[in-house]
Copies of this chain bind each other. A is one copy, B any other.
């Protein structure tokens, strides 16, 4: 599992003291993932937020070269909105890792997560890199996954196996989950022998319909980073379609884990839009439904309030006629042709997963957006302390 499922990778996760100690003492807050090669081909996808954290600016630059030999990740601070000094901190992080590992800083990606607007405690972070390097192991993937957690309640890992090759990965993310991407750090590794352009194509195709369709709370992060590193250590060059399928599978698995662990959520809501004029319009409508606070509250209350679905659809520019919209909740078509349909009393909403299907009757486009309900726990978790 995790980033060390594939051959050619070592990883570590240590407590560097960046995070304040928890109830159980020091918490892991620094992860290191190293690609031992022979290849160091890599691809990356980053937040679409125009306010980008320093490590995103740095890593985007690194990824332009298509080669990543190591990734340093920290929780306990996002290093976002920290100005030129914050960027220097990221640069120093890459330099220290390069020094410790005998690598080139230009091939070291950096990712951070935590509170925006605070400088990182570099007096703790830099020595932590040395500690992590000393603990690097082909079995270190789980510890690395633990070290990147913030408000996550569980660490997230996934793996998919091909014929002689493997794709594995880890993710963190529990809040600020919205497209472009959800708030998350993800590192995927593979021992397949795949060049950077093909890694990029597979990664973009996979994130477009997985992480980019998780819209837990409509809030887009400054730090989202998804990296895919290939060591080529299996000596196998898979077919493009098989490889893309494995990358998609791992992304889909991790994205589902993000939804299930979203801050304060009690329901996972699958918003399924069908009959759209295009996939793009289906996504627009799905997001509008997924972001409707009133609907998210209703789902929390196990109330199949389809009127709020229609009100959300009505704010979009998608192609539809109001009197041809139909909505099912958990398979019961409570709204048909823009008006009341089957008895809403038939809708069983006791389980955690809820499916809302909106049929626009305007074409054959479709999309699925994943979101969560809005709960008092979400409010508590996001108001009781800075995060």
Interface residues, chain A, with chain B CB atoms under 8 Å away: 48-52, 78, 80-83, 85-86, 115-119, 175-176, 180, 217-222, 291-294, 297-298, 300-301, 303, 305-308, 310-316, 320, 322-323, 325, 335, 337-340, 374-376, 378-386
Contacts and interface: CB of A to CB of B under 8 A. Distances in A.
Contacts of A180: 315
Contact of A219 (B115, B118, B311): B311
Copies of this polypeptide in the complex? 2
B49 A117 contact: no
- Looking at A50, A80, A335, A340, the one whose CB has the most chain B CB atoms below 10 A away is A50
A306 B300 CA distance: 29
A385 B300 CA distance: 11
Contacts of A222: 307, 310-311, 314
Nearest to A217: B293
B379 A311 contact: no
Contacts of A376: 376, 379-380
19 contacts: A50-B315, A50-B322, A78-B307, A81-B335, A82-B340, A85-B339, A116-B305, A117-B306, A118-B340, A220-B314, A221-B311, A222-B307, A293-B293, A301-B382, A301-B384, A374-B379, A374-B383, A376-B376, A376-B379
A76 B262 CA distance: 35
Contacts of A50: 313-316, 320, 322
B49 A383 contact: no
Given A218-B293, A379-B375, A382-B293, A51 B339 contact: no
A150 to B, nearest CB: 13
B307 A81 contact: yes
B293 A219 contact: yes
B83 A305 contact: no
Nearest to A383: B301
B51 A300 contact: no
A175 B294 contact: yes
Contacts of A325: 51
Contacts of A298: 382-383, 386
Given A85-B339, A219-B311, 8 more contacts: A51-B338, A80-B310, A81-B335, A218-B292, A219-B293, A222-B310, A293-B374, A297-B378
A30 to B, nearest CB: 21
A322 to B, nearest CB: 5
B116 A310 contact: yes
Contacts of A52: 314, 322
The 3 closest A-B pairs by CB, nearest first: A116-B307, A301-B383, A51-B314
Contact of A313 (B51, B339, B382): B51
A339 B386 contact: no
Nearest to A338: B81
Given A222-B311, A292-B219, A313-B51, A300 B375 contact: no
